[in-house]
Amino acid sequence: MGRSVENREIKGIIIDYKKTTYPPRGMLEGTCHAREWISAATVTWIIKEFLTSTDPEVRFLAENFEWHIFPVVNPDGYSYSFTDNRMWRKNRSTANFTSCSTGDDNSNGVDLNRNFDFVWMSTGASNDPCSNTFAGPQPFSEPESQAIAQYVSHLQKDRHNLIYYIAFHSYSQLVVVPYSHVSGPGVLTASNYGDMYEIGVRGADKLRERFGTNYRVGVSADVMYEMSGTSFDWVKHEAEVPVTYLIEMRDTGVYGFLLPADQIIPNSREIMEFILEMDRVTRRMEYYHIPFSSATYFVSNTIFITAIVLFVMIV
């Protein structure tokens, strides 16, 4: 996709079974915030399922879409959360360094999920480099946010058929619908807010059936807090992607960012339930037209191994 501020590659994988010439597209974004390790793990698990599952509905979604999947879009911060500070959130830019009372290193980095050029710095973001929500000196000041925006823009300029964009975060168990700076009647600013809300509610209901995990659905201002300059809001508004979410995964605060490893698979499985139901409802609403049929069980362990090696090489 591009390179980080410390010159790491932002690596991902394209899954395309070439069943049609111009398949609809979906894009998954993981680990924008470094400390949210469950994001990288879950997005990687989804890659594995798209390549190896024999479930007919997973196969349909995997084989009839062209998927662009990036488990870690903040590789510098992710690496730093392993080597120095487990709770690091931002990228590792040093361009705005200043002395912070809580420790000099806190002023390094920009919150990538406040750095996109959509209502930038209007609410829920900070101009203080010492803050975890520091939005940067200007929109798209960071190479990581630039890379995401340029990649999405290229996909849309190429075919304008990107149907899904999901940004995976943790924690709080929320399905967040665009836009994040509005509430009340303002939610209708997003042209198809009603559809996205219904799809999100149906997906959350199906997710709950798996392990009983409850997710709330709504705009960020209603279910969490106001935000601006986020990736998924930018994708919705500027790239005009119809079905766009930010998903805050497990849990609700018992473990927080330190979610135990034994919750990775249950979390991933219930997220897949959400994705499958999202696609069922989106198809019924006729956002794209591919009749459901039993997909060919084309699974490739070779491709899966390649994908895992690619992910391991991120840091």
Active site residues: 248
Token pair of 29 as six digits: 């974004």
Q: Which of 153, 165, 134, 139 is nearest to 246 (CA)?
A: 165
For residue 21, what is the enclosing H or E element? none
Contact 96, 141 (CB under 8 A): no
User: How does strand 9-10 pair with strand 2-3?
Assistant: antiparallel
Helix (H, G, I), strand (E, B) or coil at 27: strand
Give the contacts of 233 (CB within 8 A, at least 6 positions apart): 116, 118, 119, 178, 179, 180, 181, 227
Instruction: For residues 66 and 20, give the distance between their C-alpha atoms in angstroms, rounded to a whole number.
Output: 10
Q: Give the separation between CA 43 and CA 284, rounded to whole angstroms.
A: 25
Is there a contact between 68 and 74 (Cβ–Cβ < 8 Å)?
A: no
CA distance 222 to 217: 9
Compute the distance between CA of residue 73 and CA of residue 91 in angstroms, rounded to an integer.
10
Amino acid at site 37: W
